[in-house]
Structure 1
Amino acid sequence: MKKTVSLLAFLTTVMLLLAACGEKTQEDVIEDLDKTLDGLTGYKAQATMTLQTGEEPQVYEVEVWHKDPTLYRVALNNAEKEHGQIILRNEDGVFVLTPALNKSFRFQSDWPENNSQVYLYESLVNDILMDPERTFSATEDHYVFQTNTNYSNKNLNQQEVMLNKGDLSPASAKIMDVDLKVLVEVEFTNFEMNATFNDGDFDMDRNMTAARIDMDVPTLAEGEPLEEEPFTVYYPMFSPDGTQLEHSEEVETESGKRVILSYDGQQPFTLVQQRSRVVEASTPVDIVSGEPIDIGFTYGALTKEGDTKTVSWSYNGTDFFLASKHLSEEELAAIARSVYGTEEK
């Protein structure tokens, strides 16, 4: 009898040891993620983001700095298009900087708290923690979660988040549509948990100056065009059903050629574009009632005046202004995201 009891005790001990050495359950990882987020004082991350929303992939290098609770610096750069932006959040508000144009906008906004953000670690973790329908699996090196999303772009329906075992740092994130086609993919190449920061790391003027030096932006006079190349007119790949291009007009202004595309039908809108020019940015443009809007390949400004909603942005040497009284914010954003796709010189 004593031998039987001893054997049972031995087997129980072995099973407990094996369980301790085994894989963590979803509940274990969720608990660890919650603790990691609670203890997070900030981080620095580098990643490569690939957009699959057009005819060809758009690849961006992303650098993220976050100091808890509300300081953010996100630098986006497309080396092929020589297009870069910095999104800042500090005590003065939210800023969108375009260093090549010396241009900045300031918003009184709660960004990035209002939507999911694919390159922000705490956003990905919160999406995991808050989704009761999440699924979980594990590989040799990673924990993998599939969750619902809260992106402003409603086509981004689901996401797969891969975390490194050990420190639960992000490895990758894939954002998919309802058919599970990958539209956005982020590969994290470096991640420093609880990083330290210097005074001025989130200052608007310092970031603008440093970015212009780093990009080796040529010194241009205020109002001078960014580059002297043939003016390119871009046409949106997407427009609402029952709406089509009705009229195209070219206007010569003091700032150069301006093209006005008028779309008519059930949900009319107007798209204006002209060559980007360097501005004097000692004082950022205040858009108190506006919001920064993520249109995939760049950030723009969403504003409302009466019944009219507008989205303005700069991309690849061109300034765009999209306006409509009949479209929702998401419909305007969908058109804006598609503008880079087709062009005519």
Structure 2
Amino acid sequence: MKKKFSIWLLIVFGLILLLAACGEKSQEDVLKKLDEKVDEMSGYKAKAEMKMNTGQESQKYKIDIWHKKKDFYRVSLKNDQDEKGSQIILKNKDGVFVLTPALNKSFKFQTNWPDNSSQPYLYQSLVDDIKGDKEAEFKVSDSHYIFQTKTNYQSNNNLPYQEIHFDKKTYTPVLVKVLDKDKNALVEVKFSDFNTKPSFKDDDFAMEKNMTSGDADAPVSTNENAESLTVVFPLYMAGAELAEQKEIATENGKRVVMTYVGEKSFTLIEEQTEVAPTLSSPQEVRGDIVNLGHTIGALSDNTIEWNNNGVNFYLASEDLTKEELIEVAKSVQGKAVK
């Protein structure tokens, strides 16, 4: 009897070991596979939709992401509420650029993007964030491997966490949720296509080609309609109040300069955009690329510059922190409220 019982125990124990061997992969197994996937790929093309609830109004982007090893990137972001076409984040052998093709406008950044911050739509950035967080949480659903990690947003501490879903068969990202301190999802990136064996043309990452890839026929400002500039005001003012608003005549129409005074004072300038007739040299920026929700901005130590719906915005302050500059800029969204 004892012998039969011992044999039974051995059979049961063997079945348990077999089931465990055939079971779900561990966190370490999945991370190793993700790391191998990044190393093996020569690049990728992906499509995604990004929803952002980080400003006063919800924003939605359609994103095309191209990456060619090792340092070539093209991220096209089309905001549903922007009539002036898409913006493109481009990295090639000449540097890092933010392009607005419909306006022939470009910034060149002195930055190590994308390595200097978390990027919720870039595969290798997501994997690096997981590798860099020794306290990353891991769970498994029927079709996804799910990690929750800390983020690395240099100028925004309001988004400290992210939840990343990878397809269990392909190990490619399916869904990324960027979370606030209370674990509410303020940014959501949903991938609809991910091609890990893409082909590229020689000039796909050239600035000249990408500056002509937008909606060149989009309606833009001219001298005749520059007077129609609608002045918009920040909804978040960091405790300051509007002390002065001046209109200055320019060759192309008018410029509006608003001075806000308080414990933390700042200046906001708005000016209707005039489209450059030919491809002009990019404006040099020593700073970072920052997503303001409604558009992409150029952030330096104490200024942010951006374009939205054909209007140039310039925000400057010696008093506001970078986070406060971003919050003020995010709140300038078409609401004519003082």
Same-fold status (TM-score > 0.5): yes
Q: CA deviation at 1:3?
A: 6.0
Q: 1:145 to 1:247 in 2, by over 3 A?
A: same
Structure 2 counterpart of 1:72, one-letter code: Y
What's the counterpart of residue 255 of structure 1? 252
1:286-311: per-residue Cα shift (whole Å, max 9, x none)? 4153433332332222345xxxx221
Partner SS for 1:343: coil
User: 2:236 aligned with 1:238, yes or no?
Assistant: yes
**Match runs of 1:79-98 below 5 Å:** 79-82=80-83, 83-98=85-100
What's the counterpart of residue 279 of structure 1? 276
Q: CA deviation at 1:268?
A: 0.8
Partner SS for 1:342: coil
Q: Distance in 2 between matches of 1:15 and 1:180?
A: 37
Using the TM superposition, name which of 223-232 and 56-65 deviates more.
223-232
5+ residue gaps, structure 1: none
Number of corresponding residues: 335
Counterpart of 2:163 (choices 135, 160, 164) is 160
1:121-165: per-residue Cα shift (whole Å, max 9, x none)? 111111112111211111111111111111132211211111111
Partner SS for 2:81: coil
What's the counterpart of residue 149 of structure 2? 147
User: 2:324 aligned with 1:331, yes or no?
Assistant: yes
Q: CA deviation at 1:110?
A: 1.0
1:72-109: per-residue Cα shift (whole Å, max 9, x none)? 00000013322410010000011111011011122232
Counterpart of 1:179 (choices 170, 177, 182) is 182
Q: CA deviation at 1:7?
A: 4.7
Structure 2 counterpart of 1:310, one-letter code: T
Q: Distance in 2 between matches of 1:207 and 1:226?
A: 29
What's the counterpart of residue 291 of structure 2? 294
What's the counterpart of residue 72 of structure 1? 73
5+ residue gaps, structure 2: none
Q: Distance in 2 between matches of 1:287 and 1:228?
A: 26
What's the counterpart of residue 58 of structure 1? 59
Q: 1:108 to 1:175 in 2, by over 3 A?
A: same
Q: 1:138 to 1:338 in 2, by over 3 A?
A: same
Partner SS for 1:233: coil
Structure 1 counterpart of 2:234, one-letter code: P
Counterpart of 2:172 (choices 169, 172, 180) is 169
1:50–1:59 CA contact under 8 A, matched in 2? yes
TM-score between both structures, scaled by the size of structure 1: 0.89
Structure 1 counterpart of 2:53, one-letter code: Q
Q: CA deviation at 1:172?
A: 0.7
Q: Distance in 1 between matches of 2:106 and 2:22?
A: 53
1:54–1:341 CA contact under 8 A, matched in 2? no
Q: Distance in 1 between matches of 2:223 and 2:174?
A: 40
Partner SS for 1:72: strand
Structure 2 counterpart of 1:141, one-letter code: S
Q: 1:225 to 1:205 in 2, by over 3 A?
A: farther
1:258–1:273 CA contact under 8 A, matched in 2? yes
Q: 1:146 to 1:312 in 2, by over 3 A?
A: same
1:257-289: per-residue Cα shift (whole Å, max 9, x none)? 211111111111100001121014523224153
Q: Distance in 1 between matches of 2:312 and 2:213?
A: 23
2:52–2:59 CA contact under 8 A, matched in 1? yes
What's the counterpart of residue 130 of structure 1? 132
Q: 1:225 to 1:113 in 2, by over 3 A?
A: farther
Q: Distance in 2 between matches of 1:3 and 1:145?
A: 45
Structure 2 counterpart of 1:321, one-letter code: Y
1:102–1:208 CA contact under 8 A, matched in 2? yes
Q: 1:316 to 1:255 in 2, by over 3 A?
A: same
Counterpart of 2:303 (choices 299, 310, 325) is 310
2:146–2:163 CA contact under 8 A, matched in 1? yes
Identical amino acids, percent of aligned pairs: 45
The CA RMSD over aligned residues, in Å, is 2.5
Partner SS for 1:30: helix
2:226–2:252 CA contact under 8 A, matched in 1? no
**Match runs of 1:188-199 below 5 Å:** 188-199=191-202
Partner SS for 2:332: helix
What's the counterpart of residue 217 of structure 1? 217
TM-score between both structures, scaled by the size of structure 2: 0.90
Partner SS for 2:268: strand
Structure 2 counterpart of 1:162, one-letter code: H
Q: Distance in 1 between matches of 2:227 and 2:75?
A: 29
Partner SS for 1:154: coil
2:55–2:293 CA contact under 8 A, matched in 1? no
User: 2:92 aligned with 1:99, yes or no?
Assistant: no
